[in-house]
Structure 1
Amino acid sequence: MTLRSERQADFAYQAVYRYMINLINEVSTDTRVKLPSLRQLAARLNVSISTIQYAYSLLEKEGRVYSVAKSGYYAWPMSANPMAWMGGDLLDRLYAAARRPDMLVLSGDEPALLGALDATLLRLERELVRQYPGHLQPWSQPCGVWELRAALAARYTSSPTHCWHADDVYIGADVRGVLDILIEVLGLRGTAVVVESPCDWLILRLLQGAGVRVIELPWTAQGRLDSAALERLLREEPVHLVMLSSTVSLPSGVAMQVEDRLDVAQRLNQYGCWLLENDSLGELSLDAAPAPLRDLVNPERLIVFSSFEKTLGSEAPYGYLLSRRMGRELQRQFLLRSFRLSSIRQRAIARLYHSGRIDQHLVALREHLRAQALQMSQRLTQHLGGQVTYQMPRAGATFWLASTRAVDMRKVFQQMLVRQVVIAPGELFSVSGLHHQHLRLSHTFPGQPNLDIALIALSEALRQAKTG
């Protein structure tokens, strides 16, 4: 294979992705539309089925398409009439609205929007294509290229006890693909799993879809985790695994206090329970973060997962996990998935770590996030006044707001859609009816002229949606 064709193969999914975006945007009906099958698209575009599958997985993660078992992929309907979005699943409606190009989407959590490394990655790739010609590439690296796995292992090592090696690291297409594998390897179907609440809706839907019994452990209004409640669950319920954030909880943006962290770690160790640590925002803490939870628990009962997307941007969508145990089964499951991952892109990310450029980038990104959060806080005070309460986020790109009066948050959501603004109602972050008086708002909109108008509209929507 020539250098030119090697590079074309590495980035074929990007061309497929752009083609699919254009195809999906042509859908303008109020009903779902079936998209071409993997084989049809592969034949039409003259690429491999795995390339088509990877492009579809990205589109599904973004909420542009959804899959139906034994049927195929469908595009969400994109009605021009906001009132047509009133029925159906709330998350489906949010995704459908966010697809529209004329909407101000304030529902996401994308820190890298303030400073992605797309241009840097592409420049490094041009250098690496010359360094790694096609005939020197290994045929298959189902768990990711060694350079990146070694870089991550070194970064997560903190002591002789809590140390990692390249063979403990597994890289997949995205976080969803990685979590799918964990559900299989850990045998979570039909078991009980404790998750902090509020919790990312992608994770909740994934666990529910796999038949996992999700037990929510809510954060208190004071930003504390009830370790006594956790102890009761571990003692009285057949809990297979506990999933918690490493330093800062999503989407509430609060950091577990040191004494709570030590108490939780002690209880997990006492009951021999697995910890699945969500490290998605581990490197974006705006303050000096204490030791992550993973450094306090038994490393033999620990799995860490994260992705590069929150810090590097959409050109680095890969998810990854670290685990000392079940290596043979993890390798088998990654091999079965046959993730199509650009080896050059992975090496470019590894070079960011080895050169120290990732740390420079993180310092700048954290400063941008801190400044943007402060500006958003001033706007919230100005436009929402006593209508909401919140804590300043300790990481990430969102505010977790609580209404000071009882409101119908679904009505607020619908009224904001009419004003061409998408917010995320709090109930999306629970499976047991929690957080109905909350909503999540993004603050990564530097220089956005419509943000003040949107917050004024939100203030009015909150007033009109009062229920008491």
Structure 2
Amino acid sequence: MRSGKQADFAYQAVYRYMINLINEVSPDARIKLPSLRHLAERLNVSISTIQYAYSLLEKEGRVYSVAKSGYYALPAPTSTPWSPGGDLLERLYAGTRRPGMRVLSADEPALLLPLDAALLQLEREVVRQYPRPLEPYFQPCGIWELRAAIAARYTQSPTRYWQADDVYIGADLRGVLEILIEALGLKGAGVLVESPCDWIILRLLQDAGVRVIEAPCNESGSLDLMRLEHLLHTETVQLALLSSTASLPPQERVHAARLLERYGCWVLENDVHGELEYEPPTCHLRNLVNPDRLLVFSTFEKIIGPEAPYGYLLSRHLSAPLQRQFVLRAFRLSSIRQRAIARLYQNGRLDQHVQALRALLKMHATSMNTHLRQHLGDRVSYRMPQAGATFWLRSTQAVDMRRVFQHMLAQQVVIAPGELFSVSGLYRQHLRLSHTFSGHLPLEQVMETLAQALRQGQIS
């Protein structure tokens, strides 16, 4: 027989397990919890122990019972006490996972108009057309149809063209970038990065031992060409990681391309937002730089949604090391889903979708701009985004942005402090806000909460 201490430990362990289970529940859904018998079998404890843990949760208002149906739960959002230490990115991710949060830190443009339904419909068509296994052998770089569709989309002329063999598809963008870093042998090398830069890319470069050289944008949001030339002249730069629009007007983009060519620099183009410019796309950087020193990466997720998380890379001159790394990584990707995505390209559905998504993004950006002016006024400065799903804001007063971040977490709102987008301590007075947000709080209330957090976070 169990002693009193053992019984106490059992119900306490069950209680903690149930708290974690409840906290994973969406706040606007009534979720049925496991029955007493099923939970007792799962956790290898007595039914009476489970019943006692449930009774504690019921007294706390965390669960409720329905006659002849069972126990149900809704999560009770909790606030995280402020702590100046710890990893800021880990705290941000923890905040986004908490139930009931309004997440304004994410960059998820497809949230406005996902293509999930169309993708699933095309998958059913593919299955009917190919009732047997689609591939008799392993294709580590992705199926030919999708690779060919991407190559065709990026081809611009007889000299600036891509072929299916130049395209490599991985499970997600992070996995593709990890392979690229390994294939290029970038450990210890100098990589010039347009800044601010996505924190996932920065963390990958740091973890790989890359020497990150930041080229910060100026107050108008454009890449500083004088600073760029200075860095190329004074630093040993093996690779320049720049966005497809390079945060530059077209004429200055041409000048940047000439600078990179003069210093013999390879270019890695970040095309994640290349299709999400609100106005008709301008000339991308890849169409200006030397194609023999060009690599391009992107992901389907930004325009299709989370059902298409695959990342991809285009490279004309690294076939041997890239193929080797993709074989070693051995991505197992659904050939049915890849074919469905390829058909979105081939039948014109993706072009229609992108056009509609751009219009929605522009409309939401305009709405967010109105809310920012009404509720934050002169507390922040910013410029209207030209693409994507986020605003880049700078506090006009000196503030402790970490304290602002934590204050917002306590109010069930997640923002992205600007320092996450730099490895050298830049942007401590900045934050990124999404205008394709999720959560249950009204946007007006969120903006008022942010204004209050900025006031309280001021450094005297």
Give me the TM-score of the superposition, normalised by structure 1: 0.81
Q: What is residue 202 of structure 2 aligned with on the other side?
A: 204
Q: Out of 227, 230, 245, which is 1:229 matched to?
A: 227
Q: What is residue 366 of structure 1 aligned with on the other side?
A: 358
1:213 and 1:79 mapped to 2: Cα distance?
A: 41
Matched, 1:322 2:324: no
Distance 1:382 1:447, change over 3 A: farther
2:81 and 2:346 mapped to 1: Cα distance?
A: 51
Helix, strand or coil: the match of 1:288?
coil
One-letter amino acid of the structure 1 residue matched with residue 329 of structure 2 = R
Instruction: After TM superposition, list the pairs within 5 Å mapping 1:255-334 onto structure 2.
Output: 255-334=247-326
> Runs of 4+ in structure 1 displaced over 4 angstroms?
22-25, 446-449
Instruction: After TM superposition, list the pairs within 5 Å mapping 1:83-98 onto structure 2.
Output: 83=81, 87-98=85-96
Q: What is residue 114 of structure 1 aligned with on the other side?
A: 112
1:449 and 1:136 mapped to 2: Cα distance?
A: 46
Distance 1:229 1:368, change over 3 A: same
Q: What is residue 347 of structure 1 aligned with on the other side?
A: 339
1:307 and 1:223 mapped to 2: Cα distance?
A: 24
Please give the per-residue CA displacement for 1:33-75, whole angstroms capped at 9, x wherever unaligned.
xxxxxxxxxxxxxxxxxxxxxxxxxxxxxxxxxxxxxxxxxxx
1:23 and 1:321 mapped to 2: Cα distance?
A: 43
What is the deviation of 1:444?
0.8
Q: What is residue 156 of structure 2 aligned with on the other side?
A: 158
Please give the per-residue CA displacement for 1:125-151, whole angstroms capped at 9, x wherever unaligned.
001011123344232110001000000
Does the 8 Å contact 1:198/1:218 carry over to 2?
A: yes
What is the deviation of 1:25?
5.3
Q: Out of 435, 450, 455, which is 1:463 matched to?
A: 455
Please give the per-residue CA displacement for 1:362-401, whole angstroms capped at 9, x wherever unaligned.
1110111011111111011111011111111111111101
**Unmatched runs of 5 consecutive residues or more in structure 1:** 1-21, 30-77, 250-254
Give me the TM-score of the superposition, normalised by structure 2: 0.82
Helix, strand or coil: the match of 1:83?
coil
Q: What is residue 19 of structure 1 aligned with on the other side?
A: none
What is the deviation of 1:426?
0.3
2:182 and 2:131 mapped to 1: Cα distance?
A: 36
What is the deviation of 1:23?
11
Helix, strand or coil: the match of 1:340?
coil
What is the deviation of 1:288?
2.7
1:133 and 1:270 mapped to 2: Cα distance?
A: 54
Distance 1:128 1:25, change over 3 A: farther
Rg (Cα) greater in structure: 2
Matched, 1:185 2:180: no
Q: Out of 227, 237, 243, which is 1:239 matched to?
A: 237
Query: When the two structures are aligned, how many residues end up with a matched partner?
Result: 394
Distance 1:23 1:314, change over 3 A: farther
Distance 1:402 1:176, change over 3 A: same
Please give the per-residue CA displacement for 1:191-240, whole angstroms capped at 9, x wherever unaligned.
11000110000000000000001010000002221222222222221111
Q: What is residue 44 of structure 2 aligned with on the other side?
A: none
Q: What is residue 444 of structure 1 aligned with on the other side?
A: 436
Please give the per-residue CA displacement for 1:416-447, whole angstroms capped at 9, x wherever unaligned.
11111110000000000100110000101489
Helix, strand or coil: the match of 1:458?
helix
Does the 8 Å contact 1:103/1:421 carry over to 2?
A: yes
Helix, strand or coil: the match of 1:216?
strand
Does the 8 Å contact 1:372/1:446 carry over to 2?
A: no
Q: What is residue 26 of structure 1 aligned with on the other side?
A: 21
1:463 and 1:228 mapped to 2: Cα distance?
A: 36
Q: What is residue 411 of structure 1 aligned with on the other side?
A: 403
Distance 1:79 1:365, change over 3 A: closer
Helix, strand or coil: the match of 1:222?
coil
2:393 and 2:387 mapped to 1: Cα distance?
A: 15
Distance 1:124 1:415, change over 3 A: same
What is the deviation of 1:87?
3.5
2:410 and 2:310 mapped to 1: Cα distance?
A: 35
One-letter amino acid of the structure 2 residue matched with residue 378 of structure 1 = T
Does the 8 Å contact 1:86/1:93 carry over to 2?
A: no
Does the 8 Å contact 2:196/2:217 carry over to 1?
A: yes
1:433 and 1:446 mapped to 2: Cα distance?
A: 29
Does the 8 Å contact 1:416/1:461 carry over to 2?
A: yes
Instruction: After TM superposition, list the pairs within 5 Å mapping 1:365-444 onto structure 2.
Output: 365-444=357-436
One-letter amino acid of the structure 1 residue matched with residue 219 of structure 2 = A
Helix, strand or coil: the match of 1:280?
coil
Helix, strand or coil: the match of 1:171?
strand
Q: What is residue 195 of structure 1 aligned with on the other side?
A: 193
1:79 and 1:183 mapped to 2: Cα distance?
A: 40
2:370 and 2:136 mapped to 1: Cα distance?
A: 53
Helix, strand or coil: the match of 2:289?
coil
What is the deviation of 1:266?
0.1
1:269 and 1:335 mapped to 2: Cα distance?
A: 32
Helix, strand or coil: the match of 1:196?
strand
Helix, strand or coil: the match of 1:233?
helix
What is the deviation of 1:271?
1.4
One-letter amino acid of the structure 2 residue matched with residue 411 of structure 1 = R
2:19 and 2:330 mapped to 1: Cα distance?
A: 26
Stretch of structure 1 that moved more, 202-211 or 255-264? 255-264
Sequence identity of aligned pairs in percent?
63
Does the 8 Å contact 1:303/1:322 carry over to 2?
A: yes
2:217 and 2:133 mapped to 1: Cα distance?
A: 53
Distance 1:25 1:175, change over 3 A: farther
Q: What is residue 40 of structure 2 aligned with on the other side?
A: none
